[in-house]
Amino acid sequence: MSHIVDPLVGQIAARVRTERERRRWTLAQLADASGVSRAMIHRIERGESSPTAVLLGKLSAAFQLSVSSLLALAEGSTGDDGSEDTASGGHGTGVRRKNEAARWRDPATGYRRRQITAPHFPAEIAEIELPAGARVPYPAAAFAFVRQVIWVLDGRLTFHEGDTVHELEAGDTVELGDPAPCVFANTSGAACRYAVVLARGERP
C-alpha cells in the first residue's frame, strides 16, 4: 500500500533511484557512500517514506550533486534515463504561474522549497521558507561542483559555513566559497524566506 501524499515524493523516489542506477550502485553501495541506511534508501526509492532535508543532503553528497539540483531534477519531469522531458516544458520559454510551481516540504522541519527555474536553465533559483526554530545541516559534499549565493528575502537567517557564522537580514547575500559543511538556521520567532541562486558545474 502506498503512503505517498505529496506527488513530489514519488518524483524524488524516481530521481534517487535513477541517480543510483546511473552510477551502477547497489543499495548497499549508496548506503556506504551516504551514511543513510539501506532500509531507508529502499523505502525512499519505493516512495514509502518522504525523505527529510537532512537525508536528501546526505544522498546528494554521495551523488556529488547539490540538494537543490537533486530536487530540481525531481521536480522537472525527467525520464528514467536522466534525460529531460521536453514535452512538459523542458526547453523553450514560457510563463509559469506561482501556483503551478512545484513545492516540497521537509516532513521533519516544515522547511518549504519552491523551484523557480526549469531544470534546463543554466542557473538555478529556488525560494525557501524556513520556519521559526528550524535548523537544517548539509555536508560539504552537497556543495561540490556548484557555486551558490544565498539571498535573504524576509526575516533573519543564521547561516553556518564551516566554522564561520553569518547573521543575515532581509536584503543580505552571501556567496559560498569552497565546499564546507553548512547549516541553515532560523533562531528568530518568525519565518525566514530566502533564495538560493546556483550555477551548476560539471555533473559527475
Is the pLDDT assigned to residue 80 strictly greater than 50?
no
Comparing C-alpha atoms, which of 73, 16, 76 is closest to residue 50?
Answer: 16
pLDDT at residue number 100? 72
Q: If DSSP codes are grouped into helix, strand and coil, which group holds residue 2?
A: coil
Cell numbers 533511484: residue: 17
- Cα dist from 190 to 28, 32, 132, 186, whole Å: 41, 38, 5, 8
Alpha-carbon distance of 155 to 135, in angstroms, equals 15
Percent of the chain with pLDDT over 90: 56
Q: What is the CA radius of gyration of the chain?
A: 16
Domains recognised in the chain with CATH numbers:
7-83+100-200 (2.60.120.10)
Percent of the chain with pLDDT over 70: 85
Is the pLDDT assigned to residue 91 strictly greater than 70?
no
Alpha-carbon distance of 178 to 135, in angstroms, equals 22
Q: If DSSP codes are grouped into helix, strand and coil, which group holds residue 168?
A: strand
When pLDDT is averaged across residues 122-143 and rounded to a whole number, the result is 92
- Cα dist from 191 to 38, 92, 115, 170, whole Å: 34, 35, 18, 12
In the chain, count of helices (H) and strands (E)?
A: 5, 10
Q: Residue 122: pLDDT band by 50, 70, 90 thresholds?
A: confident
Is the pLDDT assigned to residue 32 strictly greater than 60?
yes
pLDDT at residue number 141? 86
> Higher pLDDT residue, 81 or 9?
9
pLDDT at residue number 136? 94
Between the ranges 75-79, 128-132, 199-203, where is the mean pLDDT highest? Answer: 128-132
Alpha-carbon distance of 71 to 114, in angstroms, equals 10
When pLDDT is averaged across residues 162-180 and rounded to a whole number, the result is 95
pLDDT at residue number 76? 61
When pLDDT is averaged across residues 102-112 and rounded to a whole number, the result is 89
User: In whole numbers, what is the pLDDT of the chain averaged over residues?
Assistant: 84
Comparing C-alpha atoms, which of 88, 106, 204 is closest to residue 146?
Answer: 204
